[in-house]
């Protein structure tokens, strides 16, 4: 089984960290390939950054059409719906994955993310996924995403303090880390606070493995249907579905 883990921002050090976490979560026999686009924002912090990261995400899927599954390694689930239109293979967002798994092991969970500008997008996704009532609160630790890549920044301490507040004030029973750049903190924070702390990268990898092993693929009836053929102009001309099929890997069925 081969899973492509896509960090939609362009920070290679974060991609390497995400790749390590994905490999650690993967079963024997699962190959993890971690990539990031060449063009786009260095970090994704809110709606504006998200808009400019989606073309790079889709480009990475098109470069590797033979994968068994794909992970969108941004906690906002950046471009997730578009990515599901671009392939019939399963595509899992790390936010959605972590929310679903947290709901299976805790009555209420809180999310600890980076900046406050990311909170509305996460809250919107929780409503979209039908899990808003299971989330006690989405909290910002006021840690910029790129600080997570800087040793000695104090980011871990601020995240840990926010977890303490979530357990005390929200009565949360589990914590979801709301950024792919936090992936290396989950196990130590879980031991420190004595509750499950979920990293979306690991959750997404395990869900990909489950879907692939069950032979389940993205439905192409309805909203996730392959894009209609039409020309795209200007800088996005190469994304036109007329340039070639997006929806299937060679030799694989179009739908499940």
Q: How confident is the model at residue 249 (pLDDT cuts 50, 70, 90)?
A: very low
Q: Which residue in 214, 148, 180 sits closest to 71, CA to CA? A: 180
- C-beta of residue 82 within 8 angstroms of C-beta of residue 60: no
Which tens digits make up the pLDDT trace of 70-120?
999 999 999 999 999 999 999 999 999 999 999 999 999 999 999 999 999
Q: Where are the alpha helices (DSSP H) in the chain?
A: 12-25, 47-63, 80-85, 94-105, 119-128, 155-165, 186-193, 200-213
The predicted pLDDT at position 242 comes to 60
| 137: DSSP letter | E
Residues 66 and 119 in one domain: no
- C-beta of residue 159 within 8 angstroms of C-beta of residue 110: no
The predicted pLDDT at position 90 comes to 98
Residues 109 and 88 in one domain: no
Q: Go through the chain and tell me how many residues it has.
A: 256
Residues 178 and 227 in one domain: no
Boundaries of domain holding 177: 95-200
Please report whether residue 252 resides in a domain: no
Structural domain total, the chain: 2
Please report whether residue 56 resides in a domain: yes
Residues 32 and 80 in one domain: yes
Please report whether residue 255 resides in a domain: no
What CATH number does the domain containing 182 carry?
A: 3.40.50.12500
- Proportion of the chain above pLDDT 90, given as a percent: 85
Which tens digits make up the pLDDT trace of 184-235?
999 999 999 999 999 999 999 999 999 999 999 999 999 999 999 999 999 8
Residues whose CB falls within 8 Å of the CB of residue 251, separated by 6 or more in sequence, listed in order: none
Residues 78 and 164 in one domain: no
Q: How confident is the model at residue 152 (pLDDT cuts 50, 70, 90)?
A: confident
Please report whether residue 248 resides in a domain: no
Residues 14 and 106 in one domain: no
Residues 100 and 193 in one domain: yes
Residues 76 and 22 in one domain: yes
Residues 186 and 142 in one domain: yes
Residues 119 and 130 in one domain: yes
Please report whether residue 251 resides in a domain: no
Q: How confident is the model at residue 153 (pLDDT cuts 50, 70, 90)?
A: confident
CA distance 24 to 183: 11
Please report whether residue 239 resides in a domain: yes
H or E element that contains 54? helix 47-63
The predicted pLDDT at position 241 comes to 84
pLDDT beyond 70 at 252: no
Residues 127 and 144 in one domain: yes
Q: How confident is the model at residue 250 (pLDDT cuts 50, 70, 90)?
A: very low
Residues 47 and 78 in one domain: yes
Look at residues 149, 166, 200 and tell me which one is the last residue of a structural domain. 200
Please report whether residue 18 resides in a domain: yes
pTM for the whole structure: 0.91
pLDDT beyond 50 at 256: no
- Proportion of the chain above pLDDT 70, given as a percent: 94
Please report whether residue 253 resides in a domain: no
């Amino acid at each position: 089984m081969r899973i492509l883990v896509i960090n939609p921002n362009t920070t290679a050090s974060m991609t390497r960290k995400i790749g390590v976490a994905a490999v650690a979560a993967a079963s024997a026999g699962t190959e993890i390939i971690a990539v990031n686009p060449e063009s786009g924002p260095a970090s994704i912090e809110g709606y504006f950054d998200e808009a400019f990261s989606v073309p790079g995400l889709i480009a990475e899927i098109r470069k590797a059409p033979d994968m068994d599954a794909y992970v969108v390694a941004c906690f906002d689930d950046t471009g997730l719906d578009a990515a599901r239109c671009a392939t019939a293979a399963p595509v899992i967002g790390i936010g959605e994955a972590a929310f679903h798994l947290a709901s299976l092991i805790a009555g209420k969970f809180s999310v600890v993310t980076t900046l406050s500008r990311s909170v509305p997008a996460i809250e919107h996704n929780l409503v979209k996924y039908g899990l808003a009532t299971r989330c006690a609160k989405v909290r910002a630790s006021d840690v910029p995403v790129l600080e997570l890549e800087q040793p000695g920044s104090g980011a871990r301490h601020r995240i840990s303090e926010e977890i303490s507040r979530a357990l005390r004030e929200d009565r949360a029973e589990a914590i979801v880390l709301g950024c792919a750049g936090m992936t290396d903190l989950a196990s130590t924070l879980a031991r420190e606070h004595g509750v499950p702390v979920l990293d979306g990268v690991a959750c997404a990898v395990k869900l990909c493995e489950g879907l692939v092993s069950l032979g389940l693929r993205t439905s192409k009836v309805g909203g996730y249907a392959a894009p209609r053929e039409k020309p795209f102009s200007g800088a996005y001309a190469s994304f036109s579905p007329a340039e070639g099929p997006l929806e299937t890997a060679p030799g694989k069925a179009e739908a499940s």
